[in-house]
Structure 1
Amino acid sequence: MTTTRERQQIQQEFKDRMDQDELLNCMRCGFCLPSCPTYIESGFKESHSPRGRIALMKAVVDGVIEPDEDVERSLDLCLGCRACEPVCPSGVNYGHLLEEARDIINQNKKHSLPVRVLRKTVFEGLFPHPGRMRMVTHLLGIYQRSGLQKAAHATGVMKLFPESMAVMERVLPKVPRLKEMKNRPSSLPSIGEKKKKVAFFSGCLMDTMFLETNNATTKLLQLAGCEIAIPDTQTCCGALHGHSGEKDAAKQLARRNIEAFEEAGIDYIITNAGGCGAFLVDYDHLLKDDPEWKDRAVQFKSKIKDISSILVELEFHKKVKLRSDGGRITYQDSCHLRNVQRTFMEPRILLQSVEGAEYKEMKQADHCCGSAGIYNIVESEMSMKILDHKMENAAATGAVTIVTANPGCLLQMKLGIEREGLSDKMRAVHIVDFLLESVKE
């Protein structure tokens, strides 16, 4: 609970920092409402819609209301999926407003000691340090391989945790060994004629827990004719920090990444995680007030491209034989890949080019699955409501494989499959893993 002094400070910073032109851009037309999962799942509660949240931000700026617990709760409940942005006739950059508001509240609110310790550990002590990320993942691998995981399931220990966390523990990928995570290449040659020189943004979770997906990504790039540079000084994209009210930390990570890729001499910077890619292309906004870095951020942004986009650009699907005997497939959009990077046709083009795989479009494939970073942990109830509807639509396709393009979405879909008892009938897979297993050389 915030004190009177904290609320006064928050209100002043709202006046000083919030983009009032952007707030006024909202015409209250309501076009965003059908696209907002929390508005729908809350029973059409206005304060849980993009329009309602912007109205709350504007009211705080104008001094009409205080930034109390109800305002904070409304902002916290937002997934940040940004599905409101493509449908907004005024082009309101809602995501930028949300991140600024969350940062103001977080930086002026005194958290409890356990929360402060947790945030410091995660945001400062873990994600910015690749070596520590590898070590934590290594410990998870020991838990999975040593028999401890089986013992935890046999003794019922996992029943002490919330249901969504217990199920999530079961669907986590089998993580690689420490040696595999450490022995990463800094460059890879193209296979066949070289068409492009690209750099690969390997990420933090992607290069540890989802290492095999990163390996599949680089293999596809090589097959498409790309020489690949993988700068070893790159770090976490900063999305988790930016979405959680740690904007200064996100800026530090952005500067490190821009510097890491500047001297690579490449055509594109390739990403394979929708959430990371969306935050990377927002570096120009993140650093717009930094005279030393703003132009460098614009240059960096101009090179970001999702793996599906470059594969289509290089006509990978026409030159490499793709075949699957896995039956019907469907696709779940990564919100940030679709709504921020505006990449949605390319994954579908690739999937529809796989012989033997019958593609079936999912109803509301563009709606959020409820993952949203750590949202499915901190806002489990709302997340599971959204997931339940997503699984209804997925099951209605009759697909045996759900393909997606973001690690959080992938885990959420696996969680949904497990919760619905469909593990023997359906699987979820990242698009690059599906494509690589479909390659017939």
Structure 2
Amino acid sequence: MNTDNSQMQAEFKERMDYDDLMNCMRCGFCLPTCPTYIESGNDETQSPRGRIALMKGVVYGEIELDSEVKRSLDMCLGCRACEPVCPSGVKYGQLLEQARDIIYQNQQPSFPVTALRKFVFHHLFPHQDRIIGLMSLLRLYQKTGMQKLARKTGLLNLLLPEHLHKMEKILPEIPSRTMMRHRPHHIHPSNKKRRKVAFFSGCLMNTMFLPINEATLKLLAYADCEIVIPKRQNCCGALHGHGGEKEIAKSIAKQNIRAFENEEVDHIITNAGGCGAFLTDYTELLKDEADWKNRASRFSDKITDISRLLVDLELDKELLTIEPRIVTYQDSCHLRNGQHTIREPRKLLRSIEGAVFHEMKDAERCCGSAGIYNITEPEMSMQILDYKMEQTKATGATVIVTTNPGCLLQMKLGIEKMGLTEQVSAVHLVELLLEAYENGLKKCPKRK
């Protein structure tokens, strides 16, 4: 890799979106929405406005692209909370991805970091079979007694940093290799078809979080949808796009477009806020490639979060019931800020008989998960999580609902940190909805 700083600065000038950089008026509306700005004690370099100023400075040649600039960009969660409040419509998330891609493709990090990035971005996430293999090893660890032994002997304390030790505790039970490999590819509705949809199953969602995918498919079937699940689909590419590996993200995007574009469906359904937002951004990702721009646009236009479709199909008017519980909702940043889906999850939760919905203060603020941010920036991530858990506790909720796997693990981590595992649980929206719907079926079996 080229490590010449002047080369990186030249690429900043050539590749950064100049119009978007200039659109920032430094009005400051973004400041109160930015978790890192707040948690850093109002440090301007940790705000969207400050980071854009740094990018401009590099483009103009006024400042060097040094470690401090890189550190500021690395500290950004990429939650995009600044975008909805920006009066100029600055696409901050795209600027951040452009800057990170230039930096990571032109610097030479240490050998361990280089090896880890190569493994994760090149050799793991673009290959579903390898993810299944890795998850199978994790299942082996969970099922053979190694996990109990490692915890009992304190070995994990010695081998893992404190934040990773805590994260190990809240990992879900991994499904069997057979379950992960043998997935359905076409599901017909039991009643008259109302919609034909394709389902984006994802990578970790179809392995580590497989029960959430199964719950999603059941709800779609209950809503009388014909479902196709294309075999050749892949990881969405969000980790690559956000992490400075734009060319790999483009390759993944093209594979997914090919997998879905011949399916004549009304919607492509997602159940992970981060994946859904990146899939909708394929149009932007491939805008400079004439052969792909229109194909990407047709693909992205069909991306629909499961909550939106279920409200559209009036699932909230069905009999949904659970045992009485106080429920609160933590927004997925990318579902809210990327897909602009805010009302629908709340409408569904409020429609459940027995669920007393308490809105959380600052529910829209990032929980600190942000992809792998809670691994790469544990100190800031835990600061943000601690604030989030204070707001959660104030609701009195016994159930925290979210709509993204990273958020789900982060909220479970917060519950573990606060010692509330006996009183509070965290679930994905579709898990609670499926429970409520099937309870309703028991009370009214003739409904379907």
Q: Secondary structure at the match of 2:226?
A: strand
| Paired residue type of 2:7 | Q
| Paired residue type of 2:204 | L
The percentage of aligned residue pairs carrying the same residue is 61
Shift of 1:146: 0.7
For residue 55 of structure 1, what is the aligned residue in structure 2? 53
For residue 114 of structure 2, what is the aligned residue in structure 1? 116
For residue 100 of structure 2, what is the aligned residue in structure 1? 102
Distance in 1 between residues matched to 2:53 and 2:324, nearest whole Å = 48
| Paired residue type of 1:100 | Q
Q: Secondary structure at the match of 1:372?
A: coil
For residue 293 of structure 2, what is the aligned residue in structure 1? 294
Bigger mean CA offset, 184-193 vs 392-401: 184-193
For residue 350 of structure 2, what is the aligned residue in structure 1? 352
For residue 423 of structure 1, what is the aligned residue in structure 2? 421
Distance in 2 between residues matched to 1:141 and 1:101, nearest whole Å = 38
For residue 206 of structure 1, what is the aligned residue in structure 2? 205
Pairwise mapping of residues 177-188 of structure 1 onto structure 2 (< 5 A)?
177-188=176-187
Kept in 2: contact 1:326–1:400 (CA 8 A): no
Aligned length: 438
For residue 376 of structure 1, what is the aligned residue in structure 2? 374
For residue 80 of structure 2, what is the aligned residue in structure 1? 82
Q: Secondary structure at the match of 2:321?
A: coil
For residue 125 of structure 2, what is the aligned residue in structure 1? 127
Instruction: Verify: 1:6 aligned to 2:4, yes or no.
Output: yes
Q: Secondary structure at the match of 1:292?
A: helix
How big is each residue's C-alpha offset from its partner over 1:346-390, in whole Å with a ceiling of 9 and x where there is no partner?
Answer: 000000000011000000000000000000000000000000000
Kept in 2: contact 1:284–1:301 (CA 8 A): yes
Kept in 2: contact 1:236–1:253 (CA 8 A): yes
Distance in 2 between residues matched to 1:174 and 1:326, nearest whole Å = 26
Distance in 1 between residues matched to 2:231 and 2:254, nearest whole Å = 15
| Paired residue type of 1:243 | H
Distance in 2 between residues matched to 1:360 and 1:55, nearest whole Å = 39
How big is each residue's C-alpha offset from its partner over 1:16-72, in whole Å with a ceiling of 9 and x where there is no partner?
Answer: 000111001000000000000000000100000000000000000000000000000
Pairwise mapping of residues 8-407 of structure 1 onto structure 2 (< 5 A)?
8-160=6-158, 161-318=160-317, 320-407=318-405
Q: Secondary structure at the match of 1:293?
A: helix
Kept in 2: contact 1:194–1:226 (CA 8 A): yes
Shift of 1:326: 4.3
| Paired residue type of 2:234 | T
Q: Secondary structure at the match of 1:92?
A: coil
Q: Secondary structure at the match of 2:400?
A: strand
Distance in 2 between residues matched to 1:368 and 1:114, nearest whole Å = 29
For residue 444 of structure 2, what is the aligned residue in structure 1? none
Q: Secondary structure at the match of 1:138?
A: helix
Distance in 2 between residues matched to 1:305 and 1:41, nearest whole Å = 33
Distance in 2 between residues matched to 1:280 and 1:123, nearest whole Å = 17
Kept in 2: contact 1:309–1:346 (CA 8 A): yes
| Paired residue type of 1:302 | D
How big is each residue's C-alpha offset from its partner over 1:381-425, in whole Å with a ceiling of 9 and x where there is no partner?
Answer: 000000000000000000000000000000000000000000011
Kept in 2: contact 1:191–1:224 (CA 8 A): no
Shift of 1:193: 2.0
Distance in 2 between residues matched to 1:36 and 1:29, nearest whole Å = 14
Q: Secondary structure at the match of 1:328?
A: strand
| Paired residue type of 2:363 | A
Shift of 1:196: 0.4
How big is each residue's C-alpha offset from its partner over 1:232-269, in whole Å with a ceiling of 9 and x where there is no partner?
Answer: 10000000000110000000000000010001110000
Q: Secondary structure at the match of 1:133?
A: helix
Q: Secondary structure at the match of 1:79?
A: coil
Q: Secondary structure at the match of 1:377?
A: helix
**TM-score normalised over the length of structure 1:** 0.98
Shift of 1:321: 1.5
Distance in 1 between residues matched to 2:434 and 2:141, nearest whole Å = 29
Distance in 1 between residues matched to 2:39 and 2:279, nearest whole Å = 30
| Paired residue type of 1:198 | V
Q: Secondary structure at the match of 1:90?
A: coil
Shift of 1:191: 3.1
Q: Which runs of 5+ in 1 are unaligned?
A: none
Shift of 1:438: 1.0
Shift of 1:6: 2.0
How big is each residue's C-alpha offset from its partner over 1:73-99, in whole Å with a ceiling of 9 and x where there is no partner?
Answer: 000000000000000010000000000
Shift of 1:199: 0.2
Bigger mean CA offset, 75-84 vs 187-196: 187-196
For residue 430 of structure 2, what is the aligned residue in structure 1? 432
Distance in 2 between residues matched to 1:264 and 1:6, nearest whole Å = 46
Distance in 1 between residues matched to 2:114 and 2:425, nearest whole Å = 38
| Paired residue type of 2:211 | E
Distance in 2 between residues matched to 1:326 and 1:260, nearest whole Å = 43
In structure 2, relative to structure 1, the CA distance for the partners of 1:121 and 1:326 (3 Å cut) is farther
Kept in 2: contact 1:25–1:92 (CA 8 A): yes
